[in-house]
Amino acid sequence: MEFNIALLKGDGIGPEIVDSAVAVLEKIGTKFGHSFRFTEYKIGGDAIDATGVPLPQETVDGCLASDSVLLGAVGGPKWDTLPANIRPEKGLLGIRAAMGLYTNLRPAKIYPALADKSPLRADMVKNGFDLLIVRELTGGIYFGDRGRREGKYGPEAYDTEAYSVMEIERIARVAMSAAQKRSGKVISVDKANVLETSRLWREVVHRVAEEYEGVTVEDMLVDNTAQQLVRNPSQFDVLVTTNMFGDILSDEASQITGSIGMLPSASLGDGTRGMYEPIHGSAPKYAGTGRCNPIATILSGAMMLRYSFDLAAEADCIEAAVERALNEGCRTNDIAGPEHRVLTCTEMTQAILDRI
């Protein structure tokens, strides 16, 4: 089959890690007889430098015309002082909205070979964990009304959280269907002891859950969830939550796997076209040093094959190659122990290619 993939390399280590994933996809194409056509578009700081805006129309058009999008990362100190509407992050939020990608799937699992890299004590991760955070991606406080005004104590700033029934229903459905293919256990994360949006969230999530046979939903407050993730991560399977809570909890979940450099993500809407990106950032201090870990982006490529192109065997093949490389002691800087030779990003990519 033939697929058109838009590449948004972005900033910092973005170009290096996207090149790694492209090399892996090309190898998969050769092995399984598919052709992947890649077209690059600008986003983030890279786009600001070239065009003055973080999300040029050409990028939006190119992504909407593609079969799926692979993104590196955006942002860096160079653009930190720009006004809010032309910051690199605005490009990322903008492309998610323009493509209607309201679902963000962020799996976090611990690889047995890396268990000793987890900051959690060995007895806490001895049962392993394999969880999926389903984060709502185009609503809530990241997209709500915001601004500056005169308040009771003088000048103030505000951001608003709003969720419609429709937005909660559609993300709840994604979580319930995902759970049906896993253990059937969903934890819905909110702050219903304080927030009205959370109270609506709870109501709607439970109503939707009734339509799904074999699925049970339990509610957990977000502060408690943050605790439970570091106390007993094995208790979780599917978590569903709002944009901001999902942003925060997914970083926490990634850290307990041992390295944020390992975690892929998929952003999806109603169709099959999605955007795939590592959950880590642009790590500007590692840009150009070869010290970054390409695995999160390579695994994002695998998620693209699985979720957008329905190529499960091909995705399995990438995931197995990554696991084999780890089992055989291949390590980038972020996951190496004293006994390992540290591989560069290119060497790790080659190690994975060799195992495909």
Residues making contact with Mg ion (CB under 5 A): 247
Which of Mg ion, ligand IPM, none does residue 167 bind (CB under 5 to 8 Å by kind)? none
Q: Is the Cβ of residue 233 or residue 246 nearer to Mg ion in the bound state?
A: 246
Identify whether 247 is a catalytic site residue. Answer: yes
Least separation, in Å, of the C-beta of 158 and ligand IPM? 19
Which of ligand IPM, Mg ion, none does residue 343 bind (CB under 5 to 8 Å by kind)? none
Q: Which residues contact 140 (CB under 8 A, 6 or more apart)?
A: 161, 162, 163, 197, 242, 243, 244
Question: Could you say which of 90, 163, 191, 212 is catalytic?
Answer: 191
Identify whether 191 is a catalytic site residue. Answer: yes
| 11 is an interface residue for ligand IPM by CB under 6 A | no
The CA distance from 94 to 159, in Å, is 17
Q: Is the Cβ of residue 197 or residue 267 nearer to ligand IPM in the bound state?
A: 267
Question: What is the torsional sign of CA 169, 172, 178, 180?
Answer: negative
| 322 is an interface residue for ligand IPM by CB under 6 A | no
Least separation, in Å, of the C-beta of 340 and ligand IPM? 29
Chosen residue from 247, 291, 303, 332 binding ligand IPM by CB under 6 A: 247
Question: Could you say which of 49, 145, 223, 310 is catalytic?
Answer: 223
Chosen residue from 92, 283, 295, 335 binding ligand IPM by CB under 6 A: 92
Q: Which residues contact 289 (CB under 8 A, 6 or more apart)?
A: none
> Restricting to residues 131-190, which ones interact with ligand IPM according to CB under 6 A?
none
Question: Could you say which of 41, 142, 212, 286 is catalytic?
Answer: 142
Task: Using the rule CB under 6 A, give the single segment among 86-94, 199-207, 231-239, 341-349 that binds ligand IPM.
Answer: 86-94
SS (H, E, C) the chain: CEEEEEEEEECCCHHHHHHHHHHHHHHHHHHHCCEEEEEECCCHHHHHHHHCCCCCHHHHHHHHHCCEEEEEECCCHHHCCCCHHHCHHHHHHHHHHHCCCCEEEEEEECCHHHHHHCCCCHHHHCCCCEEEEEEECCCHHHCCCEEEEEECCEEEEEECCCCCHHHHHHHHHHHHHHHHCCCCEEEEEECCCCCHHHHHHHHHHHHHHCCCCCCEEEEEEHHHHHHHHHHCHHHCCEEEECHHHHHHHHHHHHHHCCCHHHCEEEEECCCCCEEEEECCCCCHHHCCCCCCCCHHHHHHHHHHHHHCCCCHHHHHHHHHHHHHHHHCCCEEHHHCCCCCCEECHHHHHHHHHHCC
Identify whether 251 is a catalytic site residue. Answer: yes
Question: Could you say which of 19, 190, 247, 334 is catalytic?
Answer: 247
* Residue number closest to ligand IPM, CB atom: 89
Task: Using the rule CB under 6 A, give the single segment among 85-93, 147-155, 268-276, 315-323 that binds ligand IPM.
Answer: 85-93
Task: Using the rule CB under 6 A, give the single segment among 88-96, 147-155, 163-171, 291-299 that binds ligand IPM.
Answer: 88-96
Q: Is the Cβ of residue 122 or residue 157 nearer to ligand IPM in the bound state?
A: 157
Least separation, in Å, of the C-beta of 52 and Mg ion? 25
Q: Is the Cβ of residue 8 or residue 23 nearer to ligand IPM in the bound state?
A: 8
Identify whether 142 is a catalytic site residue. Answer: yes
Of 74, 68, 14, which Cα lies nearest the Cα of 43? 74
Least separation, in Å, of the C-beta of 11 and Mg ion? 15
| 275 is an interface residue for ligand IPM by CB under 6 A | no
Chosen residue from 60, 93, 99, 311 binding ligand IPM by CB under 6 A: 93
Residue in the structure block whose two tokens are 């399977």? 237
| 89 is an interface residue for ligand IPM by CB under 6 A | yes
User: What is the set of active-site residues?
Assistant: 142, 191, 223, 247, 251
Catalog residues that contact ligand IPM under the rule CB under 6 A: 89, 92-93, 247, 279
